[in-house]
Amino acid sequence: MLEHDVLVIGAGLAGMRAAIAAQTGGANTAIISKVHPVRSHSNAAQGGINAALTDRGDEWEEHAYDTVKGSDYLADQDAIEVMCKSAGQALIDMEHMGVTFNRDDEGRLGTRAFGGQRRARTFFVGDFTGQALLHVMFEQLVKSGIRSYEEWFVTSLIEEDGQVCGVMALEIRTGKMHAIRAKALIFCTGGLGRAFEPSTNALIVTGDGISLAYNAGARLMDMEMVQYHPTTLAGSGVLISEAARGEGAYLLDKNGERFMEAYAPNMMELASRDVVSRSEQTEINNGNGENGCMFLDCRHLGEALIMEKLSQIREIGIDLAGVDMIKEPIPIRPGMHYMMGGIKTDVDGLTNVPGIYAAGECACVSVHGGNRLGANSLLDTIVFGQRAGDHAAAATRSKEFVNFDGSAAVKKEEGRIQQILDRPQNDDRVANIRLGMGQTLNNNLAVYRNQTGMEDTLRSLGGLRERYAHVPVDNKGAVFNTDLIFSLELGFMLDCAETITVSALDRKDSRGAQARTDYPDRDDENWMKHIVTNKGEEGPEISYLPVSITQWTPEVRSY
Amino acid sequence: MDVTLNIRRFDPGVPQPESYWQSFDVSIEDNGTVLDALIKIREDTDGTLSLRCSCRSSICGSCAVRINGHAGLACKLQASAVMGDDNVITVEPAGVMPVVKDLVVDFEPFWEKIRAVKPYLQPQGLEPESEYIASNESMLHLSSVTACIMCGACVSDCTVLEVDPTFLGPAALAKAYRFTADPRDGDTDGVSKERLQDLTQATGMWDCTRCTECVTACPKGVAPMDRIMALRDQAIAAGLTNSNGARHAEVFGELVGHSGRLDELKLPVKTVGMFNIPAMLGFLPVGIRALIHGKMPSPIHKNIEGVEGFRRLYKKAEEAGEE
């Protein structure tokens, strides 16, 4: 049987960073991913990575305060302190590995302004920082020689005597099922964006790890906190980077007027994302948009700056909307982008389930609370990926493998998959169920929410789940059966959708990304706490955790 | 908008599998991409259609296929821009790499070549405490190469790889250039001589025939062929002239510079060296075939008319090049 001390699931930035750390820590490490590492969704981060460099006169406390305020005081301040203190070294490490960061006139790392921060501390590579970092991390993975199971899909976890001790994985290329034994699993599987329609997220972002961990007993936290990004492209809904506004772009209404002054007089377009998205949505609802969109205007930035720093999003605008941002404002709207919540971990990636770690978007440390600042997600992946890898390597040193019957496990899982393939044909399709889920979430769990809408979504999800139990799969073959994988992914997403909705219904205040029209104010007395969900007999069960406050007392939030 | 996709399919799961064409009529948004159409088929009509795709915005590199015979990203090309008058678009798997199923090809040979160029920064000097100091121009130049998303479109349409699978190919060589051109890689002057040495070997930088297909195919403007040419310049500048490729370039210039046109008989002889018997014997079959087909260049090579003037021009160009 395949066997590793540490098995990292997911090979984006967090996953590869975790694997490299675990290997460096002396653990026999492997990484498994349903796509090749460089296809991972870390690619899609465009704008940059935040760090307060002291030799530039910045202080980590400043970065931390901006992050706390950005989170609408829901993030855990001890975790934020860890992240912001580590940021400088994490950034320099990436530069030493070979990232081609843009420079200033003196040849040092250059910065750009980003939303919700009082100082420019976002380091960047044009407008494809995530891709630049991901490919460099992949280079380091190649250099490390770590065993990499590429295009292997984890279908379930193996538990023996109540202990998680490995995974079942489908080798997509052949259709062969494998059992992999491991002392520790580190989930770095990213977010769950495809549960929403539309979303900026790639098609592979389907909440796999969140659901697998949840079903194994892991607690999820802050699941109601779903970020809607202020600038997603009309139509396809793909991302147009905050870097545009960081470089000075304006948001305009249908009459060509800037409108942010009424909402964020100081920071204007660079207020935090939840604030800007709400402002846009309010304007759209008031009839000041055009075809459900507002406009992002980059024309005054000039062709030279756009070509040097925003060339990728310009291409996206031309390719997908037929609009050249050098010449015209580009139609944008708030769109589902990021999951602040996820598998509850501590600062070392540990969850409540022994042997399960998590890092990156699938985890909730919580450093983002109610709203993540732009360019804090790349930082999150690297800092907490590394910490999880370090901890898992040390923890598995004195741990024995749990024995289980590998071939029986394979047989059982093959049987389960066969049952799905053998379902009788009906009129339903996986894609239709996903679309139904995506639309109801996007209707009722978007920028503005209310009780009736969310209850409606919860009912719909119940119906979708019943359909899901019977939905057939067209492809019965073994080789590269993506049809089967979509079906399994849909199950993961339905779990996520349910916990999101239940958590959002429970929270009876407006904070960060959750803006309830029926509870429009932040209520610190009753709701400055984390909502935790774990899997109970009849669906998600709710409990609460206090917010860690170290040095920043909650204040009224304005930008 | 209605569009017809003519898709080249392959199912390895049937007895005696063979590829075949299947056509699908599909309705998409007016500005929909080829990928939108493929996804629509997969979701609504035929779930057995296999393809890789993920980001929908030209950054993950998953969906390179051949569209109307040329490699490109399905998510980058609007269907309306590539369909013919009959609204038909042909979609085939990427070339060069073996087909696994339908539009999915085996990327392992691709990654093997990426690994072969030691694709990670190898600085020789001491690591600075903070960042390396480097000019913005040097980083912007590198970023235009690191913009490569490893989609394999260049490899798919590379005319050398089509006949010689051992060639490192445009993606791996562009990746290599990303390091040789990095001021942080190699010795303290930023010269990566060992890398260049490796890349001058057979199957490396000198095997490109400059057909420019990779430049056309690349969806990210990386222009792999230009990077390969830059590698050649770097190799010669580093004194790595002892390879057939470098000598070919040198002799080519020498011959043209002397007589005003290429002496096609002398070029191969002087490139490999008159006394390199095995290589000379290797030319025999080509020579005989040329003779049979009346393509053998004349043994008497004359200077062009007014060669003196040409030589002066040539010398000036050479001097300008050195400056």
Contact yes or no for B48 and A236 at CB 8 A: no
pLDDT tens by residue, B109-154: 999 999 999 999 999 988 999 999 999 999 999 999 999 999 999 9
The domain boundary residue, chosen from A368, A395, A422: A395
User: Does A114 reside within a domain?
Assistant: yes
User: Does A460 reside within a domain?
Assistant: no
User: Does A547 reside within a domain?
Assistant: no
- How far apart CA A487 and CA A466 sit, in angstroms, is 14
| Best CA proximity match to B174, nearest among B231, B112, B244 | B231
Q: Which of B29, B34, B44, B60 to mutate to test the interface with A (most CBs of A within 10 A)?
A: B60
Per-residue pLDDT of chain A (559 residues; tens, 9 = 90+): 999 999 999 999 999 999 999 999 999 999 999 999 999 999 999 999 999 999 899 999 999 999 999 999 999 999 999 999 999 999 999 999 999 999 999 999 999 999 999 999 999 999 999 999 999 999 999 999 999 999 999 999 999 999 999 999 999 999 999 999 999 999 999 999 999 999 999 999 999 999 999 999 999 999 999 999 999 998 889 999 999 999 999 999 999 999 999 999 999 999 999 999 999 999 999 999 999 999 999 999 999 999 999 999 999 999 999 999 999 999 999 999 999 999 999 999 999 999 999 999 999 999 999 999 999 999 999 999 999 999 999 999 999 999 999 999 999 999 999 999 999 999 999 999 999 999 999 999 999 999 999 999 999 999 999 999 999 999 999 999 999 999 999 999 999 999 999 999 999 999 999 999 999 999 999 999 999 999 999 999 999 999 999 999 999 999 9
The yes/no answer to whether this complex scores an ipTM above 0.90 is yes
DSSP A34: S
In terms of domains, do A19 and A158 share one? yes
- The reported pLDDT for the residue numbered A305 is 95
User: Does A374 reside within a domain?
Assistant: yes
In terms of domains, do A288 and A382 share one? no
Contact yes or no for A103 and B139 at CB 8 A: yes
User: One of A178, A245, A337, A557 is an active-site residue; which one?
Assistant: A245
In terms of domains, do A201 and A309 share one? no
- How far apart CA A94 and CA B212 sit, in angstroms, is 34
Tokens representing A543 are 């409990």
User: Does A7 reside within a domain?
Assistant: yes
In terms of domains, do A356 and A238 share one? no
- The reported pLDDT for the residue numbered A365 is 98
- The reported pLDDT for the residue numbered B190 is 85
Residues 6+ positions from A466 with CB-CB distance below 8 Å = none
In terms of domains, do A110 and A170 share one? yes
CA torsion, ordered A348, A352, A353, A355, to nearest 10 deg? 20
User: Does A81 reside within a domain?
Assistant: yes
Query: Nearest by CB to B57, which of A53, A238, A431?
Result: A238
Number of independent structural domains in chain A: 2
Residue A177 to residues A411, A537, B89, B102, Cα–Cα distance (Å): 9, 29, 36, 22
Contact yes or no for B55 and A41 at CB 8 A: yes
In terms of domains, do A282 and A308 share one? yes
First to last CA, chain A: 56
In terms of domains, do A238 and A371 share one? no
Shortest CA gap B81–chain A (Å): 10
Contact yes or no for B29 and A97 at CB 8 A: no
CATH of the domain at A269: 3.90.700.10
- How far apart CA A21 and CA A15 sit, in angstroms, is 10
- A314 belongs to the catalytic site: no
* Class at the top of the CATH hierarchy for domain B2-105: alpha beta
Contacts of A103 in chain B (CB under 8 A): 134-136, 139
The domain boundary residue, chosen from A334, A350, A367: A334
Domain boundaries, chain B: 2-105, 108-237, 244-322
In terms of domains, do A100 and A212 share one? yes
Contacts of B114 in chain A (CB under 8 A): 142
- A470 belongs to the catalytic site: no
The domain boundary residue, chosen from A361, A376, A395: A395
| Best CA proximity match to A276, nearest among A226, A229, A341 | A229
B41: nearest CA partner in chain A: A431
Buried b (16+ CB within 10 A) or exposed e, A129-146: bbbbbbbbbbbbbbbbeb
Contact yes or no for A319 and B115 at CB 8 A: no
- The reported pLDDT for the residue numbered B146 is 97
- The reported pLDDT for the residue numbered B275 is 85
- The reported pLDDT for the residue numbered B282 is 87
Query: Nearest by CB to A319, which of B52, B78, B149?
Result: B78
First to last CA, chain B: 56
Query: Nearest by CB to B121, which of A39, A92, A97?
Result: A97
Contact yes or no for B120 and A109 at CB 8 A: no
Contacts of A319 in chain B (CB under 8 A): 33, 58, 76-78
Contact yes or no for A431 and B78 at CB 8 A: no
Shortest CA gap A110–chain B (Å): 9
User: Does A46 reside within a domain?
Assistant: yes
In terms of domains, do A159 and A81 share one? yes
| Best CA proximity match to A428, nearest among A375, A397, A473 | A473
Tokens representing B226 are 């230009």
Contacts of B119 in chain A (CB under 8 A): 139, 142
Tokens representing A550 are 């170290």
User: One of A17, A229, A314, A522 is an active-site residue; which one?
Assistant: A229
In terms of domains, do A207 and A355 share one? yes
Contacts of A105 in chain B (CB under 8 A): 136
- The reported pLDDT for the residue numbered B84 is 87
Sign of CA dihedral B282, B287, B289, B295: positive
Domain B108-237 in CATH: superfamily?
A: Alpha-helical ferredoxin (1.10.1060.10)
CA atoms within 13 A on the CB side of B266: 16
Report yes or no: B72 and B38 within 8 Å, Cβ to Cβ: no
Phi, psi of B153 (to 5 degrees): -60, -40
A317: nearest CA partner in chain B: B57
- The reported pLDDT for the residue numbered B298 is 83
Query: Nearest by CB to A431, which of B43, B130, B139?
Result: B43
Shortest CA gap A482–chain B (Å): 6
CATH of the domain at A382: 3.50.50.60
Tokens representing A476 are 């019965």
Shortest CA gap B172–chain A (Å): 13
- Domain residues for A186? 2-225+340-395
- The reported pLDDT for the residue numbered B297 is 85
Q: Which of B57, B132, B144 to mutate to test the interface with A (most CBs of A within 10 A)?
A: B57
Contacts of B11 in chain A (CB under 8 A): 477, 479
- How far apart CA B290 and CA B312 sit, in angstroms, is 34
In terms of domains, do A346 and A270 share one? no
| Best CA proximity match to A431, nearest among A471, A401, A478, A382 | A471
A100: nearest CA partner in chain B: B139
Tokens representing B224 are 């792999």
DSSP A424: P
Instruction: Please report how the helices A13-24 and A377-397 are oriented relative to each other, as an axis angle in degrees rounded to 10.
Output: 30
User: Does A53 reside within a domain?
Assistant: yes
**10-residue block means of pLDDT along chain B (323 residues)?**
97 95 96 97 97 97 98 97 94 98 98 98 93 96 97 98 97 98 92 94 95 98 98 95 89 91 89 86 88 87 91 90 74
In terms of domains, do A311 and A353 share one? no
Tokens representing A84 are 């912001």
Contact yes or no for B55 and A478 at CB 8 A: no
Helix (H, G, I), strand (E, B) or coil at B90: strand
